[in-house]
């Protein structure tokens, strides 16, 4: 494969889209959904499609060890097999001729990925089961060159099919919006919709490290811009859309909330950290409990404690807050004093093996299937392309163990099986969903990779949910040999748990598995 020496950008037309889908699911109980998220993520990766110019987005000497050129945000899109990652290249050469290549013109970036091996609904789960590499269809499909003046793209966020992206120069920033209804053919909203954040005499540089947006009770869109690295103190600044359509643009800044005024419930530290990503999540209870004239949303921020990431691993966290404020006036104004932010929970998320680092990129995805309370997923990506295989971009998915399913299922595509390394559902786990052969037809566990290590002879407990008409069989021997013992996981429609395979007379010697007829 030829080494790419310049980017081939997608042609992204500027098109207004007044009827764009602009809502995220409202979860019944965000705090419960947040607590349900596992602290250890499913390892994932995608191919770069040979679309990144060498040696960019690598931690190598010729890319200045990635200190000024790394991934900044990650967002799974509503069109559930797609995601985007943001970044910026301060050393880009813009053209194909030798003369053009001597000039360096910064550019902010969006990288679009299609995770073709994953199901559109529900948690994606690890796509690295087969020898630790993703299927060919999980790959980058396009690059958007956002802006030359604002060369740094930060923590991004989605509302329905609207993608909000903060971009920065040395002294100013703005928020741009894309319509991602068709991620293979994205469009950009007109400049009249963008939120410009210029410097002032009092604040000579204005940065926007992350952005989030949500629908509020009157149907308008609320945007929150997070700043923690400019001439002012760390803060959230709020903007309200002029109408219930993003096409009509936004009012000037409606309110400013400073992070040193954060509250906390008992047992939580009263801090609002240096977040790389922030995301509003609508909570039914917060809306129902809001007093007259008030609005309420939950907000999740992701961060890492290291001062010199990625040189230091640090500790990775997601923090959950309740944000309350007066309903905005007709002019988009919100009294500063009415904004209160209270920390209600936090979660230590484990990021190992250079799979993810929340000083680099974090993102939130929500889903609420009919009849269920809803699920929350946290995504984290690493700073750069993989050091061992630069064609890979690695990331993690953190989700609930019982992601998406109800009490009873009847379709195999809704089924799942999780096999744990230790008894009582502890340790590493092999997670399989639905009927995808790449995930469920496993003739030799010596080739099965779970969190960068073999899973051969490692099964000690099992949790699964399959339709009553199906079963999944674990074999002691490779290639489904019947010479050893077999464990039939027969579906009931509900969740079945085997806390310790040894209690059924079996050890941990599982070496292959597949669906079998009943």
Domains delineated in the chain? 30-398 (2.115.10), 412-516 (2.60.20.10)
Cα separation, 109 vs 86, whole angstroms: 6
Confidence at residue 197, expressed as pLDDT on a 0 to 100 scale: 96
% of residues, the chain, pLDDT over 90: 78
What average pLDDT does the segment 173-177 reach? 98
Confidence at residue 100, expressed as pLDDT on a 0 to 100 scale: 55
What average pLDDT does the segment 364-389 reach? 92
Phi, psi for 71 (deg, rounded to 5) = -70, 145
pLDDT tens track for 143-152: 999 999 999 9
Give yes or no for residue 102 having a pLDDT over 70: no
Statement: the pTM of the whole predicted model exceeds 0.85? yes
Rounded CA Rg of the chain:
23
Q: What's 26's DSSP letter?
A: P
Cα separation, 387 vs 389, whole angstroms: 6
Average pLDDT, the chain: 92
Which residue stretches of 65-134 are H helix?
98-101
Cα separation, 200 vs 252, whole angstroms: 14
Give yes or no for residue 322 having a pLDDT over 70: yes
Which residue stretches of 17-108 are H helix?
30-36, 98-101
pLDDT tens track for 67-98: 778 999 999 998 689 999 999 987 776 555 55
For the chain, the distance separating the N- and C-terminal CA atoms, rounded to the nearest angstrom, is 47
């Amino acid at each position: 494969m030829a080494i790419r020496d310049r980017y081939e950008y997608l042609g992204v037309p500027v098109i207004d889209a007044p009827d764009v889908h602009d809502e995220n699911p409202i979860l019944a109980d965000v705090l419960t959904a947040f607590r349900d998220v596992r602290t250890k993520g499913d390892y994932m990766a995608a191919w770069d499609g040979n679309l990144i110019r060498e040696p960019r987005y690598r931690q190598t000497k010729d890319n200045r060890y990635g200190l000024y050129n790394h991934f900044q945000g990650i967002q799974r899109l509503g069109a559930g097999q797609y995601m985007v990652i943001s970044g910026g290249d301060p050393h880009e050469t813009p053209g194909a001729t030798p003369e053009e290549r001597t000039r360096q013109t910064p550019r902010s970036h969006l990288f679009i990925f299609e995770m073709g091996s994953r199901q559109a609904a529900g948690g994606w789960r690890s796509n690295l089961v087969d020898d630790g590499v993703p299927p060919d269809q999980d790959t980058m499909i396009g690059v958007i060159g956002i802006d030359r003046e604002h060369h740094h793209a930060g923590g991004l966020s989605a509302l329905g099919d609207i993608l909000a992206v903060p971009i920065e120069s040395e002294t100013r920033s703005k928020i741009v919006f894309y319509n991602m209804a068709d991620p293979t053919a994205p469009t950009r909203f007109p400049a009249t919709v963008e939120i410009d954040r210029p410097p002032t005499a009092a604040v000579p540089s204005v940065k926007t490290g992350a952005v989030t947006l949500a629908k509020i009770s009157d149907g308008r869109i609320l945007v929150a811009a997070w700043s923690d690295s400019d001439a002012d103190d760390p803060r959230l600044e709020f903007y309200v859309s002029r109408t219930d359509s993003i096409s009509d643009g936004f009012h000037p800044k409606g309110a400013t909330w400073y992070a040193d005024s954060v509250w906390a419930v008992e047992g939580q530290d009263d801090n609002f950290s240096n977040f790389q990503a922030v995301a509003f999540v609508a909570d039914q209870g917060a809306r129902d409990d809001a007093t007259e004239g008030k609005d309420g949303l939950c907000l999740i921020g992701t961060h890492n404690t290291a001062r010199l990431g990625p040189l230091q691993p640090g500790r990775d966290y997601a923090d959950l807050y309740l944000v309350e404020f007066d309903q905005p006036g007709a002019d988009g104004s919100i009294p500063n004093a009415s904004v209160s932010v209270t920390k209600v929970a936090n979660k230590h998320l484990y990021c190992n093996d250079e799979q993810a680092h929340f000083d680099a990129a974090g993102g939130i995805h929500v889903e609420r299937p009919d009849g269920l309370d809803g699920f929350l997923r946290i995504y984290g990506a690493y700073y750069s392309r993989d050091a061992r295989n630069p064609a890979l971009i690695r990331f993690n998915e953190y989700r609930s163990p019982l992601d998406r399913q109800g009490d009873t299922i009847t379709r195999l595509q809704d089924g799942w099986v999780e096999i744990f390394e230790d008894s009582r559902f502890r340790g590493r786990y092999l997670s399989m969903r639905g009927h995808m052969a790449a995930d469920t037809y496993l003739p030799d566990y010596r080739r099965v990779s779970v969190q960068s290590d073999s899973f051969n002879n490692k099964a000690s407990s099992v949790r699964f949910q399959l339709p009553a008409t199906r079963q999944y069989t674990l074999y002691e021997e490779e290639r489904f040999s019947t010479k050893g013992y077999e464990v039939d996981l027969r579906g009931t429609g509900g969740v079945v748990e085997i806390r310790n395979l040894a209690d059924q007379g079996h050890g941990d010697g599982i070496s292959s598995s597949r669906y079998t007829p009943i």
